[in-house]
């Protein structure tokens, strides 16, 4: 990765990464640690955070701190803050999230709201809590995790897509507001990426119509984007071409068909 010292100068000494126990979040932690930032690792599975933290300390000579937190709980960000209030955090990577493909007609309301708190409100709370601190520092960054296609809606993932669309709009707005305070804000529009979430969705990376991206490439492009203070980052040339060339209505219908077929395979009629 290029510009490692630049990264720690601008965003150090500490970065906070949510969803650091797996996939894209764990990769963010690795690449930031390689660039000599200390990293707070936040998620629910504390043993995984501790193991990753131990590995990063040994490999890169940085400090880490694990924070067990369930970001679908309403008071999660205040509890997270209590665990990190002594640290000078210059970069917040709000990445934790999930999805649950299925028919909206059968969604349980409580479960739907729990996911909405994780996928939308936790990003809002983290942004609201950390933006003033970053603005006072006059330097720092906020990276919010969205999802490819979400801005136009994804059938059979209506609530999850709506949550990520909220995050995208929030981030693009904050990008302008916080720029004048020296704070970089970037939305990572996550494309299909080879992490544990694919198996949860019932997808096999080997049989998907387009090969999912590696977490490494996704995070490398995201870090470059926030260094340059780009408002949006959609990693991968093919993804950018598809997004530019395929009309939203066509993409939405194709996504809906793909998820419906996947669901039909999981639940025999």
Ligand X SMILES: NC(=O)c1ccc[n+]([C@@H]2O[C@H](COP(=O)([O-])OP(=O)(O)OC[C@H]3O[C@@H](n4cnc5c(N)ncnc54)[C@H](OP(=O)(O)O)[C@@H]3O)[C@@H](O)[C@H]2O)c1
> Where along the sequence are the contacts to ligand X (CB under 6 A)?
19-25, 43-45, 69-72, 95-99, 118, 145, 147, 190, 192-193, 195-198
Report d(CA 224, CA 235) in Å as an integer. Answer: 10
Q: How far is the CB of 254 from ligand X (least distance, A)?
A: 16
Q: Which residue lies nearer to ligand X by CB, 10 or 121?
A: 121
Residue 201: CB minimum distance to ligand X, A: 8
Dist CA 179 CA 47 (whole Å) = 37
Instruction: Identify which of residues 115 and 184 has a Cβ nearer to ligand X in the complex.
Output: 115
What is the distance between the alpha carbons of residues 4 and 89, in angstroms, rounded to a whole number? 17
Q: Phi, psi (5° rounding) for residue 187? A: -95, 125
Closest to ligand X by CB, 29 vs 37, is: 29
* Nearest Cα to Cα of residue 23 among 81, 90, 99, 137: 99
> Least separation, in Å, of the C-beta of 194 and ligand X?
7
Q: Which is nearer to ligand X, 9 or 230 (CB)?
A: 230
Q: Output phi, psi for 240, to 5 deg.
A: -65, -40
Q: How far is the CB of 44 from ligand X (least distance, A)?
A: 3
Q: Which residue has the tokens 């960054």?
A: 141
Q: Least CB distance from residue 138 to ligand X, whole Å?
A: 29
- The pair of structure tokens assigned to 85 is 């209030």
Angle, CA of 255, 261 and 267, to the nearest 5°: 135
Question: Closer CB to ligand X, residue 10 or residue 41?
Answer: 41
Nearer to ligand X, 139 or 198 (CB): 198
Residue 136: CB minimum distance to ligand X, A? 27
Distance in angstroms (rounded) separating the CA atoms of residues 90 and 232: 19
Buried b / exposed e over 225-261, threshold 16 CB at 10 Å, is bbbebbbebbbbeebeebbeeeeeeebbeebbebbee
CB of 202 to ligand X, least distance (A): 13
CB nearer to ligand X: give 66 or 131. 66
Question: Distance between CA atoms of 61 and 23, rounded to whole angstroms?
Answer: 22
């Amino acid at each position: 990765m290029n510009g490692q010292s630049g990264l720690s100068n601008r965003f150090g000494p500490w970065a906070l990464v949510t969803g650091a126990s797996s996939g894209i979040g764990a990769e963010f932690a690795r690449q930031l640690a390689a660039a000599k930032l200390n990293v707070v690792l936040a998620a629910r599975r504390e043993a995984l955070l501790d193991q990753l933290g131990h590995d990063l300390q040994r490999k890169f000579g940085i400090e880490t701190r694990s924070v067990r937190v369930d970001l679908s709980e309403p008071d999660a960000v205040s509890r997270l803050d209590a665990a990190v209030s002594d640290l000078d955090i210059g970069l917040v990577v709000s990445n934790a999230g999930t999805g649950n493909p299925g028919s909206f007609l059968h969604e349980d309301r409580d479960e739907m709201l729990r996911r909405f708190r994780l996928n939308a409100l936790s990003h809002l709370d983290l942004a609201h809590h950390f933006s003033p601190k970053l603005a006072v520092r006059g330097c720092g960054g906020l990276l919010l995790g969205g999802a490819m296609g979400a801005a136009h809606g994804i059938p059979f993932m209506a609530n999850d897509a709506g949550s990520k669309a909220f995050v995208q709009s929030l981030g693009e707005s904050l990008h302008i507001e916080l720029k004048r305070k020296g704070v970089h804000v970037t939305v990572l529009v996550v494309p299909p990426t080879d992490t544990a979430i694919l198996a949860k969705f019932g997808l096999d990376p080997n049989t998907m119509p387009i090969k999912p991206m590696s977490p490494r490439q996704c995070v490398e492009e995201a870090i470059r984007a926030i260094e340059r203070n780009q408002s949006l980052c959609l990693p991968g040339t093919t993804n950018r071409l598809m997004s530019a060339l395929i009309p939203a209505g066509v993409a939405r219908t194709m996504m809906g068909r793909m998820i419906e077929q996947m669901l039909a395979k999981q639940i025999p009629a």
